[in-house]
Amino acid sequence: MTIISSPLDYRNAAKARLPRFLFDYADGGAGSEATLRANVEDLARLGLRQRVLRDVAAIDLSADLLGVRRPLPLALGPIGIAGMYRRRGEIQAARAAAAAGIPFTLSTVGLCSLAEVRAATPDALWFQLYVIRDRAFMADLIATAKAQGAEALIFTVDMPVPGSRYRDAHSGMAGPRAPLRRAVQTLTRPRWAWDVGVRGRPHALGNLLPVLGASSGMNDYMGWLGANFDPSIRWDDIGWLRAAWDGPLVIKGILDPDDARAAADAGADAIVVSNHGGRQLDGASSTARALPAIAAAVKDRVTIFADSGVRSGLDVVRMLALGADGVLLGRAWLYALAVGGQAGVTRLLTMIESEMRVAMALTGVRSIAEIDASILLKERQD
C-alpha cells in the first residue's frame, strides 16, 4: 500500500503508476540536469530562523495576486500534456484549484482546450501562451482566451528553442521507435492504460486543433514544439502582445534583473522568475539564487511569481522570503494528479497549506505580508 503523508510522497507514487515515458518527461530536465537538481537543493539549503513566544494563534495565508485576494499565495502553473497523466487531467486539476480558491493555468499544449476547461469550472482560469511563429494563430489563441474569460495571460519567453532533454530519448518520449516503445510501456501500466489510454480520449492537443486537426497526438506534440517556437522574438514584440491582450500580462521565464526591468518597461503586470523547471538551459541559475536580485530590481513595479524546485509548503515560504509575491506549483501538482486525480491535487494543496502554517508559526510570522528575508538564517544563504 502506498502511503502519502507529505507532498514528496507523490513523486514515488507517480513513478509506480505512470509509463516510463510520461514519468521521465515530467521528472527530467535539460542536459545533465544540474539546474534541475540545483532548483531543489538551493531551496533546501535556505535555513529558517525559528522564533518563539510571538503570538501565532491566528495565521492568515491570503494574498493579493493580480488584483484578486486569494486564500493562498499560489496558482497551479502551466504544464503541457497534463491530460496524459490522468483522464482529462487539466479539468481535474482546474476543479481542485477552484475548490482551493486559487487559479489554474492552462498550457497552450494541454490536452483539454480552453473551452473544455471553462465548461468544467467557472473559477479563476489563467492561460499560458508560447512564442509561436504564426502570429495570426497567436492572435486567435488570445481572442479565444478572452472569449473564455481567462483572467490573466502568462507569456512564456524562455523557450525560443526546446532545451536538450536527453532523458526523453532513453524513455521513449522521443528517439528511435518511440511510438512502439511507448505502446510496450503502456502494457505494464494497466490502470493508467484504462484511465487515460482508453477513457481519456481524445489525446489531441485541444488548443491546437485548428492547426493540427482532431487526429493529432503525441508525435505531433513533440514535432510541433520544435517547429513552431519563434527564436526571433524580441522585447519590441511585447508591444504587439500588450495591445492584443488588455488583461493582466505575466512574462514567464525571467532569471536576470535586466530582463526583469525590460519586462516591466514593456508593460508586464507581473513576471515569473523561472528556469522552466531546469528543462531549458542546463547550468542556468536556480530560481532561488536568481530571485533576490530580481526582487530588489523590480519589486515596486511588478508582481513577482516564482517557480522551479518548489515541492512543499516549506519551499513556498522560502520563495516568499526570497522576494516572491506568489508561487506557481508545477511538478508537485502533476505528480499528485497522476496518483489521485482531482482528489490528489486537493490533498496536495491541503498539505502545502498545513506546512505553510507550521513554517509561519515557527518562524513567528502571522501573515504572508510579514514573510521576508528576516526569517532566513544568514549563514545558510551562501
Q: What is the DSSP letter of 262?
A: H
Whole-angstrom distance, CA of residue 259 vs CA of residue 200: 40
Residues near 317 by Cβ (< 8 Å), separated by ≥ 6?
A: 48, 356, 359, 360, 363, 371, 375
Residue 203 bears catalytic tag: no
Q: How far is the CA of 333 from the CAs of 63, 169, 345, in angstroms?
A: 20, 25, 6
Residue 256 near residue 234, CB atoms below 8 Å: no
Report yes or no: 259 and 298 within 8 Å, Cβ to Cβ: no
Q: Which of 11, 88, 167, 276 is catalytic?
A: 276
CB atoms near residue 15 (< 10 Å): 16
- Backbone φ and ψ of 53, nearest 5°: 55, 50
Q: Are 324 and 293 in contact (CB under 8 A)?
A: no
Residue 232, all three cell numbers = 526571433
Tell me, rounded to whole angstroms, the distance of Cα 235 from its chain centroid: 23
Which helix (H) or strand (E) element contains residue 340?
Answer: helix 331-363
Residues labelled catalytic: 276
